[in-house]
Amino acid sequence: MALRAILLVLLVAVLAAVPLFAASSQTFLAIVFAKSVAVLGLLLLLQAGQVSFGHGMFFATGAYTVAFLGRSMGGGDLALLLAASVVTSAVLGLLVGLFVVRYRYIFFGMLNLAFSMVLYSILEKFFHLTGGSDGLRIRRPTAFGFTFDRAQFDMVLYYSTFAMAFLAAYLVWRYLRSPLGQALKAIKTNETRLEYIGLSARFVMLVGYVISAVLCGVGGAFLGVIQGIATPEYSYWTRSAEFVFIAILGGVGHVAGALTGTFVYEAVRTYAAAFVADSWQMILGFVLLAIILKAPSGIVGLVEGFTARRRKAEASALTVEAAR
Amino acid sequence: MSFDTIVLAVCDGVAYASLVFLVAVGLTFIFGVLGVLNIAHGSFYALGAYTAVSAGIFLTKAGFSPWLTFPALFVAAIFIGAVLGGLMEKLLLQRIYDKEQVLQILVTFAIFMILENVQRLIWGVQPYFMSEPLQLLGNISLFGISYTAYQTLFLPALAVIVLLGLRYFLRHTAAGAQILAVTEDREAASAIGIDAQKVYFVTFIAGATLAALGGALAAPTTSLMPGMGAEMIVLSFAVAATAGLGQIEGAAVAALMIGLGRSLAVYLAPEFEVLVPYILMVGVLIFRPSGLFGAPQLRKI
Amino acid sequence: MSEASHPILLQARGLEIRFGGVIAANGIDLDVRGGENLAIIGPNGAGKTTFLNICTGYLRPKAGTVRFEGKEITAQPPRDITRLGIARAFQIPQLFSDHTVLENMLLAAASRQRRFNLLQPLGRIAEKDEMLELLDLVGCAGDRDKRAGDLPEGHRKLVDIAVALALKPKLLLMDEPTSGVASADKFEVMEILVSALAKAKVASVFVEHDMDMVQRYAGRVAVWSAGKIQRLGPPSEVLEDPEVIRTVIGV
């Protein structure tokens, strides 16, 4: 436990110093942080044994909220834009959630997909409002009341996404340990008993669903600001699939899986995609199959399994010692 | 809205419903027997379409009679269904029947990702089109409106044949009885000597072939583009869910409902074309959570 | 009987339900009074579990009503009925198999007290000691940190009952509470359970196949037969009835 705490502090210290020694990777890491927040949302649902192929809709909601509000305010302020995207994604999460939490497994996954396709086609078809498939440009907002130039703003974005990624991971970790978070995991094992201790499984799911929607909304808002644009692609199924993929890759058993998975995924994509751009999705598919069939607990699970085995090996070595 | 428009919309709707029905009935049939909802089903649809068009183009270029494009549609569908469907069931699905549901979903989803990519690698992103079968059958006149015979007669007739054939097969043949027995209780069926593994295999191939057939038959009526598989899996799921998963006759009713609703939207409010199927599905599911013809399942406690 | 003076807690009237051709309830009338222990016996398929399912809202009867403390609860969702004070233990234990035994108990307690603070850990709620005592009572204190899914059948059964008790119900419905429990321990378990129920003034209805248990712990016995109550009364009378001996006890 102590070792973990030290490693965590070290990690945070190194990441905090990135703009000083590796400013060129600032934007890359900001994207990783932003996406990891959205991945946390998927991780949450996977803990309940549920998978959504449509959370891109909340990602797009966050980004388009920033685009619309920013446009009407001539830029707006980062803090306000984020707060607004929390509100819109929570409202949409509640509306869609009230319907989809009645379903589980394939129904849950496909209904989410259907809703995201609806949003995608609205964003694409109503181009006089949404800019169609070109999307909406997002101008650089002020941040917390101050105006920054491009380079400064990149640093502000870096620290904002960094703080948000760790804050979100911490809050989700707390939530998953709380009674309602534990009840969310119980959805996977026994909904009947959940009802028979007086808890509504739908209510438990709805709370988790709205939280997951907000996480995706915040992630989308940040990515929109980073990339300076919101496009319908944000709500396309490939985007939702990417989040699911990353969550499984990182491992759904622990909140650390979201950041770990996103980092590995984005790093590989940035450096490898140039060579395999045409078959990227196919590679993802094969890796997903391999993880599911061979290592369902993901990267974090593999690391934990490795340390556990080592500890076991050490313990047995000790008993052998003692036996002598 | 004029009478002509209504006739046009109905013709469109019925033709479209016939295609969607073929795909959806394959999806719901597989789910009914295997308990797996195959997300890659949409890819079978797309690959069936592309393969049919490629075969058709090859035949016409090689100078064969354009009438040969008709059997080519069916050969392409059976080829995709048997080879890809067969491989998928044997190599992957057989390993996951007793795993957690969420893992089953993810496995078929991974295959979907792979097949979507394979399709783009082979056929690229430019649209494909093959109108021979459509032109060969000519037009017929309905209430003064001229419409292709392919869409007003051929497609609906085929859909009806599939529906009746499937009903007859399941209720009146020995093989159909075996499938129903495995659906009812796999263990009990195995105990009386039915080879459940084979039933799963055959059912999956049959379902996959229906999806590929839907695609092959759709090819003459639409241009093929990447993303058609994704759209079709959601649409056929909407049909299957509206009917109630596993309901074969119900899928026909739901396909007709959604097909007609969609084509009316095309003429009345084109922006809503894509939305209509989902509005109908959500509307039905709010009042009947298990679909129009489905019954809720209670766990024994 | 002293319980006769107690108010009626649960009142079932004219319950009817059928599954396909099987009639599982065919006009069931039954009153359960505060503080009593009522046993339900009868052959398999007579509709005993179905009765519990109807009373807790899991099944909606085709006809008839269920009232609890005078309030109609027919076909209300199980969670609402649970919150009114009817807890249930199951024939096949229903536990959160990925959670530890203690977490199972704490979830029940958190639900009872509506502890929905999203940032407070489940492991630190105020009812923890109370839950540990309950686990101790059913003899499963040693299992507290084991995964519920890893427990042997008998212990799962006991934890299932403890989860129901954690809800502090007014009425406890138990479906074969001691099946799966080693026969040497059966009486001890039931002894503890019955005295705990008496102390907390909780009434109970339990489905039971072991006639010695019924004889010893039930105040009244209801004999189920093909969806009907064939006989109702104190065990000393009912278990001597030749008809009951022939159809149920099977001697």
Residues of A in contact with C107 (CB under 8 A): 179, 182-183, 186, 197, 199
The stretches of chain C forming alpha helices (DSSP H) are: 48-55, 78-84, 101-112, 128-137, 153-166, 183-199, 211-217, 235-238, 242-244
* Residue type at position A32: V
Is the per-residue pLDDT at B80 higher than 90?
yes
Q: Are C212 and C45 in contact (CB under 8 A)?
A: no
| HEC readout, C51-117 | HHHHHCCCCCCCEEEEEECCEECCCCCHHHHHHHCEEEECCCCCCCCCCEHHHHHHHHHHHHCCCCC
pLDDT digits (tens, 9 = 90+) for B149-194: 778 888 889 999 999 999 899 888 988 888 888 888 888 888 888 8
Element (H, E) at C174: strand C171-175
Can you say how many angstroms the Cα of residue A249 is from the centroid of all Cα atoms in its chain? Answer: 12
pLDDT digits (tens, 9 = 90+) for A103-148: 988 889 989 999 998 899 899 888 888 888 888 999 888 888 888 8
CB-based contacts of C78: which residues, under 8 Å, 6+ apart? A192, A195, A196, C56, C57, C58
A46–chain B Cβ distance below 8 A for any pair? yes
pLDDT category of residue B35 using cuts at 50, 70 and 90: confident
* Residue type at position A118: V
Q: Are C166 and C109 in contact (CB under 8 A)?
A: yes
pLDDT category of residue C180 using cuts at 50, 70 and 90: confident
Average pLDDT in the C13-38 region? 89
- B238, burial (CB in 10 Å: exposed 0-12, middle 13-18, buried 19+): buried
Q: Do B101 and A106 touch (CB under 8 A)?
A: yes
A241-279 burial: b if 16+ Cβ within 10 Å, else e: bbbbbbbbbbbbbbbbbbbbbbbebbebbeeeeeeeeeb
Q: Which residue has the tokens 């966050």?
A: A62
Q: pLDDT at position B1, please?
A: 65
Is the per-residue pLDDT at A322 higher than 60?
no
Bridging pattern class, strands C37-41 and C203-207: parallel
Q: pLDDT at position A204, please?
A: 96
Q: pLDDT at position A269, please?
A: 85
pLDDT digits (tens, 9 = 90+) for C64-79: 999 999 899 998 999 9
pLDDT category of residue A317 using cuts at 50, 70 and 90: low
Q: C192 or A316: whose pLDDT is higher?
A: C192
Is the per-residue pLDDT at B105 higher than 50?
yes
Question: Which tokens belong to B37?
Answer: 């909802």
Q: What percent of chain A has pLDDT over 90?
A: 56
Beta bridge partners of B146: B141
Q: CA-CA distance, C229 to C26, in Å (whole number)?
A: 9
d(CA B234, nearest CA chain A) in Å = 6
Q: pLDDT at position A168, please?
A: 96
Residues in chain A, how many? 324
Chains in contact with B, where contact means 3 or more Cβ–Cβ distances below 8 Å, are: A, C
Q: Which domains does chain A have, with CATH numbers?
A: 19-323 (1.10.3470)
Q: Which domains does chain B have, with CATH numbers?
A: 3-287 (1.10.3470)
d(CA A189, nearest CA chain C) in Å = 6
Q: CA-CA distance, C27 to C15, in Å (whole number)?
A: 5
Q: CA-CA distance, C236 to C251, in Å (whole number)?
A: 17
Q: CA-CA distance, C34 to C13, in Å (whole number)?
A: 18
Q: Are A82 and A224 in contact (CB under 8 A)?
A: no
Q: If you measure CA to CA, which chain A residue comes closest to C103?
A: A182
Reduced to 3 states, what is the DSSP secondary structure of residue C194? helix
The strands making up C228-233's β-sheet, listed across from edge to edge, are: C86-89, C171-175, C203-207, C37-41, C220-225, C228-233
Residues of B numbered 262-301 whose beta carbons fall under 8 angstroms of chain C's beta carbons: which are they? 298, 301
Angle between helices C101-112 and C153-166 (to 10 degrees): 20
pLDDT category of residue A318 using cuts at 50, 70 and 90: low
Helices vs strands, H then E, count in chain B: 15, 2
Q: CA-CA distance, A35 to A270, in Å (whole number)?
A: 14
Reduced to 3 states, what is the DSSP secondary structure of residue B99? coil
Residues of A in contact with B231 (CB under 8 A): 117
